[in-house]
Amino acid sequence: MSTDNTTQPESFGENSRRALTNPLLQRALTIATVKATSARSVAVTHVGPANWEQLRDRAHAIKKHTIENLDFYLEKFAGNVERLGGKVYWAQTADDACKYVAELAQRRGVQEIVKSKSMMSEEIGLNHALEDAGIKPIETDLGEYIVQLANERPSHINMPAIHKTRSDVADLFAEKLGVERTEEIAEMTALARRVLRARFAEAQMGVTGVNYAIADTGTIVLVENEGNIRLTTSLPRIHVAIMGIEKVIPNLQDLDVFLLLLSRSASGQKMCSYVSLLTGARSSQDEEGPDEFHVVLVDNGRVEMLSDKQLRESLYCIRCGACLNVCPVYRKIGGHAYGWVYPGPIGAVLTPQMIGLDRATSLPFASSLCGACGDVCPVKIKLPDMLLHLRQRINDNGHIKTKARKRDRLERLSFKFWAMAMKTSRRYRYVACFGRLVQALIRKRNANGSVSLRVPQWSDTRDFPPLARRSFREQWRDRSH
Amino acid sequence: MLARIRASLGNAAKHPAPAKLPPFVSQTLVTDGEKLTAEFESEIERVGGQVAHVHSSDQVTAYLSVLPLTGDESSVAISDGLLIKTLRIREWLLTRKTRVVTWQEMPSMEAYRRELLKCGIGVTCADYALADTGTVVLLSGREHHRLASLLPPVHVCLLSTDNIFPRLTSLMDHLSDEAYARERPPHALTCITGPSRTADIEQQITTGVHGPKALHVLLYSTETSKA
């Protein structure tokens, strides 16, 4: 498939055109997003819409409270981890975080690291950093394993190989693992189990992300279906958990709210197969689990995002992927077109903040502003508002290229005229009357026989319906006689 | 970093603990014991697990004796859970000349890990269960069941019917007051809902990708009348 990890946010237009003309990708995206959205809506119906709203409001309130007091809760969390024998490292940049993990591995003589799926590790580019340090990272989540074998980047937050069909995976396994080609999903899964079991049996160090960190108890929470996270956190003698500083929540009761929301939003499950709560290092040699437990707290631009009151909410995200699955843009172009780690509506909000507005000018415009993302978000992040806000910033900062700027001036003029015309009902009637007279000049007949107006650029990709011959008010007046 | 966070948020350097959010009023709970068991059973079957009621050692061993053990995975791992000891499962396995793997008898973690990879079945107890999701909950500390419940392709889990909670919320309330209120909370708590599964290829659900392919929950109660 032509989507690969060389895409960049700057070439969004080109990336998406390529995705749209890729029939295999279109098929794969439809299968996955339709299944995920329908499973989610069934799960929400079971909870009851009123209860669901109550949970979303609660989750939003918890995140708001925790983010506003992040210094307090982080200090508490880190204090508890250290009190219970864990080690905490505060990483200001992606490089700091990668260096810490790589150097730890080198000091302990570790050559191979088993990893579970983690968006944070994608964000900081951990795999590259490890390879540069001569350490081999092995992705163990089936989807991530497929993506790693194909030398690609995940194209969805929790369904990394969403862009691949079974036939793609069959080809990949046959080529990279030297096995007989099979399209049987059960056989391919069993093969991955065998190959990865052998790696787990040897592994000395495991790296995971974190879904939630509980300040009160110093616990990290990991949610999964496959069991690879349980293996990663219980077999190797060293466990390193990497988390963004926004992942902390106050207590176990708050965790309850998020667990109720997360699985249902992500996959429509009431509860994922495995939820692990891991607290500190093991208390004695007589306990199962790793000898060493490290938590890497990553800033990587988040502290700055905190000071931005208009976009701060984007740190409430729990990475469920629901906004991707419902987004009409994501459903057509997939994750790689976005060109960076986080795709979909949340990606369009996070990416400009994380890598710079100038590098991601197209992303906030990759939305029809239909509002579906905001409606499904389990923590009620106002995604459509933030997308609009970012558009305005991009415009104000002059990041849009000259040709677009010219169009922009025309647009602004049109809206000024529109605002003037709409000021009083009399003006509106006169303008509408005038419009009906002149629209014949730009009328065109579409292929399907309908009539629309030709407006430069605007009507290239959409219909501009003509004004009715008689207005509603006029028709009403006639009828009431 | 904390200082920079405070600056970003506009919080003072030494500010008092933030006021807690008002308590969350959750939905009504099912509390009837019998209903809980029934709900737990139907939920666990929905997620692909299997349930049986047992009241004696014989019934447990009868259940275990029909589970297949073949090839490279012919040993049975058992944890040191209380019910497993009471029901004398180890003794029964030994009379059948089955190779038994336990944490206690292994010289090292490495050896235990190696032996576990040769087990076809792992038998453990569960500390709690959740009725509305069909979840079993395992707490580290008293029992060594973290790996025995994970590495073998079949996990058999013994659960006393007294320990079923209606839902996650009630368990979290209980844990906050009990295990997690202690100076040292449990090192690992694992919630297990059905067998290991993945949907990473074309969203088709496949079981046993990394963890057990099958989960059997044996609901133990002393009253034989309920059978």
Give the model confidence (pLDDT) of A432-463 as tens digits.
888 888 888 888 887 777 888 887 777 777 78
Query: Cβ–Cβ of A274/B201 closer than 8 Å?
Result: no
Q: Is A72 on the interface with B (CB under 8 A)?
A: yes
Give the residue from B168, B200, B204 with the most A CB atoms within 10 Å of its CB, the best one to mutate: B200
Q: Residue B180 pLDDT more than 70?
A: yes
pLDDT at site A301: 95
Confidence of residue B31 (pLDDT cuts 50, 70, 90): low
> Can you tell me the distance from the alpha carbon of A120 to that of B131, in angstroms, rounded to the nearest whole number?
34
Give phi and psi for A320, each to the nearest 5. -90, -25
Q: Residue B29 pLDDT more than 90?
A: no
3-class DSSP state of A205: strand
Please give the average per-residue pLDDT across A58-70, as a whole number.
96
Confidence of residue A4 (pLDDT cuts 50, 70, 90): very low
- Give CA angle at A179 (A173, A181), nearest 5°: 70
Query: Whole domain around residue B190: which residue ranges?
Result: 31-222
User: Minimal CA–CA distance to A317: which of A338, A341, A347, A289?
Assistant: A347
Q: Residue A1 pLDDT more than 50?
A: no
Confirm whether B128 is domain-assigned: yes
Q: Does the complex come out with an ipTM higher than 0.90?
A: yes
pLDDT at site A444: 80
Confidence of residue A3 (pLDDT cuts 50, 70, 90): very low
Confirm whether B91 is domain-assigned: yes
What number of H helices and E strands is found in chain B? 7, 12
pLDDT at site A181: 95
Q: Is A61 on the interface with B (CB under 8 A)?
A: yes
Query: Cβ–Cβ of B117/A169 closer than 8 Å?
Result: no
Q: Name the domain count of chain B.
A: 1
> CATH number of the domain at A40-304, out of 3.40.50.10420, 3.40.190.10, 3.40.50.80, 3.40.640.10?
3.40.50.10420
- Taking contacts as CB-CB distances below 8 angstroms, the residues of chain B near A93 are none
Nearest residue of A to residue B145 by CA position? A288
Please give the average per-residue pLDDT across A149-160, as a whole number.
92
pLDDT at site A2: 34
Confirm whether B169 is domain-assigned: yes
- Which segments of B61-141 are extended strands (E)? 75-78, 100-101, 119-125, 128-130, 135-139
Query: Cβ–Cβ of A275/B191 closer than 8 Å?
Result: yes
Give the model confidence (pLDDT) of A355-405 as tens digits.
999 999 999 999 999 999 999 999 999 999 999 999 999 888 877 665 566
Nearest CB among B117, B150, B201 relative to A166 is that of B201
- Give CA angle at B172 (B194, B152), nearest 5°: 30
Q: Which residue matches tokens 């737990």?
A: B40
pLDDT at site B90: 95
Cβ-Cβ contacts under 8 Å for A209 (sequence gap 6 or more): A116, A117, A118, A119, A120, A121, A222, A241, A242, A243
The domains of chain A are located at 40-304, 403-480
Range from A225-229, B107-111, B180-184 that averages highest in pLDDT:
A225-229
Confirm whether B89 is domain-assigned: yes
Region of A160 on the Ramachandran plot (φ > 0 left; ψ -120 to 50 alpha; else beta): alpha
pLDDT at site A70: 96
Q: Residue A215 pLDDT more than 90?
A: yes
Q: Is A11 on the interface with B (CB under 8 A)?
A: no
Token digits of residue A273: 């197969």
Contact A203, A182 (CB under 8 A): no
Please give the average per-residue pLDDT across A330-351, as a whole number.
95
Q: Which residue has the higher pLDDT, A464 or A41?
A: A41
> Can you tell me the distance from the alpha carbon of A12 to that of A102, in angstroms, rounded to the nearest whole number?
32
CATH number at residue B153: 3.40.50.10420
Confirm whether B7 is domain-assigned: no
Residue A345 has a CB neighbour count (10 Å cut-off) of 30
Q: Which residue matches tokens 């806000």?
A: A389
User: Minimal CA–CA distance to A164: which of A5, A1, A37?
Assistant: A1
CA distance A431 to chain B (A): 49
> How far is residue B140 from each of residues A172, A278, B113, B127, B146, measured CA to CA in Å?
40, 10, 17, 9, 7
Confidence of residue B182 (pLDDT cuts 50, 70, 90): very high
> Can you tell me the distance from the alpha carbon of A146 to that of A144, in angstroms, rounded to the nearest whole number?
5
Confidence of residue B30 (pLDDT cuts 50, 70, 90): low
Q: Residue A229 pLDDT more than 80?
A: yes
SS3 content of chain A, % helix, strand, coil (to 5): 55, 10, 30
Concatenating the DSSP letter of every residue in A51-108 gives: HHHHHHHHHHHHHHHHHHTHHHHHHHHHHHHHHTT-EEEEESSHHHHHHHHHHHHHHT
Give the model confidence (pLDDT) of A293-306 as tens digits.
999 999 999 999 99
Parallel, antiparallel, or unpaired for β B100-101 and B50-54? Answer: unpaired
Confirm whether B3 is domain-assigned: no
Nearest CB among B18, B186, B198 relative to A189 is that of B198
Contact A7, A339 (CB under 8 A): yes
> Can you tell me the distance from the alpha carbon of A95 to that of A104, in angstroms, rounded to the nearest whole number?
14
Give phi and psi for A400, each to the nearest 5. -85, 140
pLDDT at site A441: 84
> Can you tell me the distance from the alpha carbon of A216 to that of A301, in angstroms, rounded to the nearest whole number?
25
Residue A174 has a CB neighbour count (10 Å cut-off) of 14
Query: Cβ–Cβ of B201/A164 closer than 8 Å?
Result: yes
Please give the average per-residue pLDDT across B124-142, as a whole number.
95
Nearest residue of B to residue A187 by CA position? B206
Q: Is A69 on the interface with B (CB under 8 A)?
A: yes
Burial of A318 (0-12, 13-18, 19+ CB in 10 A): buried
